[in-house]
A = this chain, B = another copy of it.
Amino acid sequence: MEYLDAKEKFISTWGSLGSLWGINKAMAQIQALLFISTKPLSMEDIMEDLKISRGNTSMNLRQLMDWGIVTKVLVSGERKEFFTTEKDVQELAKIVAKERSRREIKPVIKVLEEVSTIKDDGTEKTKELIKQTKALKAITNDLDTLMNKLVDQKQNWLTKSVFKLMK
């Protein structure tokens, strides 16, 4: 496989995986492109490479910056803006986990909390609702906590030993 094929395959695969980490296709593809680029890219570069419009590029770059995944860099002697992405996968995973937790999981936990604390009127269906939403809340919480700690502390002694034990 040649470089160009490999690059295209990587970008389109990563793009379609976007849904897994909660972002849209263009966003994921821009990030992928920056991720394998050896230098910062301008909006022109990105539009041209991915064949997407200026507006689309602008909006998705903004979102990537909101996530904290992409940053503007100043290239001396250049008027236009250049962009680069976090290159360390560890850091990337950490940011993604934190943002998804904040944007999606935490709000759900809040609703489960509300629902699971309704007044028990003694009926079977109310008891079941309370019981099941409590259980769901507990596991959602646990997995959320664990995921965050793991990506956060992947380097440290604890996780290293966990990994070893799990092999």
Q: Does A37 contact B (CB under 8 A)?
A: yes
Which B residues are CB-close (under 8 A) to A9? 111, 114-115
Q: Does A143 contact B (CB under 8 A)?
A: yes
CB-CB contacts of A78-120 with B at 8 A, as 1s and 0s? 0000000001011001000000100011001001101100110
Copies of the chain in the assembly:
2
A3 engages B129 (CB within 8 Å): yes
Please give the distance in Å from A116's CB to the nearest CB on chain B.
9
Interface residues of A, CB < 8 Å — how many? 57
A3 engages B142 (CB within 8 Å): no
B36 engages A104 (CB within 8 Å): no
Which B residues are CB-close (under 8 A) to A124? 38
